[in-house]
Amino acid sequence: MPRLILFLFLFLFAVAGTAQRLLRQPLSYVPAQNVLVLPHDQDNLILDIMAINQFLAPRPIAVSAADRKAAAKTIRQQKKNPVRQSRIAGLSAEQSFLLTGHAADFDSIEHRYFQVLPSIIRDSALPTAERERAGQDFLDCTGIILATDNAEDVYVNLYENCSASIQTPKLNLMLDIISDYPVGPEVKFRIGGLEQGQTPFTLRIRLQHPDRVPTFYINGRAIPSPVVEDGYYVISRKWRNHEEVFFYAD
C-alpha cells in the first residue's frame, strides 16, 4: 500500500508539472508588416490569396486583461484536477501561447499553416468564401512566426523562410530564417542589425519533439550543454552581427 500511495503521488506530481502557467507579462507577436516571408519556389501563396481577395490583410493577435483572468481561472482548475487538461475557454491557440509561452500550443498551428491552409487556398473547386477564410488565417500566421517578451527574449515559433525586423525597448535586430522545412530538415538563423559590439539576448527556438533534441551549432560549433524550457531550445548569450545558428529539424 505505501508503494501504491508513493506511485500515485509521483504520478500526480509529474502531471501537475506539465500544467500550464501564466507568464508575468503576456508575450507579443512580431507585427506581420515586419516579417517578409520568402517562398521556396515561384508558387507564392500570398499572390494566390490576393487573387482570391486583394483586400485581405494580416490581423494583429493580442490578449486582454479579461483573457488573462479567464486563463488564470482555467489554470487553477487544472491544478485541482491535474489529470484533466483543458484549453483556455474562449481563447485560440495563438492567444493561449501569448499568456503561457509554451510551445505545445503551436503543434496544431504548424500543421494548419504548412499543410491544411495551402491546400484549401489553392483548391479552386471550393467555395470562394471558404478559400477567403483560409487565406485570412494564413495571412494572420505571418504575424506569429516570431514573438518577444518586449525585452530580451525572442521566440521562433515556425520555421518559415523569412526575414524579420524585431524591435523591443531593449533590442533592435534583424533575424533571417533560412529554412528548407517542411520539405527538408535544414534550418539556419542569421543575426544582423545589432549595434557594434556584443548584444545580450535570448533566442528561443521551438522544438518539434522536445524529447528528441537535435544538435544545434553556433558559427559551426556544436552547443555542448543544451537547455530546453517549455518546448523551446534556449540560447542565451551575447551576440554579434552575422553570427549563425544551424540545426536539422526532425
Residue count (the chain): 250
Q: pLDDT class for 82, splitting at 50, 70, 90?
A: low
| pLDDT for position 17 | 41
Mean pLDDT computed over every residue of the chain = 86
| pLDDT for position 142 | 85
pLDDT tens digits for range 106-137:
888 888 888 899 999 999 999 999 999 999 99
> 85-94, 103-112, 151-160: which has the highest mean pLDDT?
151-160
Residue 234 pLDDT > 90: yes
pLDDT tens digits for range 163-214:
999 999 999 999 999 998 888 899 999 999 998 889 999 999 999 888 889 9
Residue ranges and CATH numbers for the domains of the chain are 28-64+101-248 (2.60.40)
Mean pLDDT to the nearest integer, 58-72? 91
Predicted TM-score (pTM) of the model is 0.86
Residue 14 pLDDT > 60: no
The residue whose grid cell reads 486583394 is: 54
Cell of 59: 490581423
Q: pLDDT class for 29, splitting at 50, 70, 90?
A: very high
Residue 246 pLDDT > 70: yes
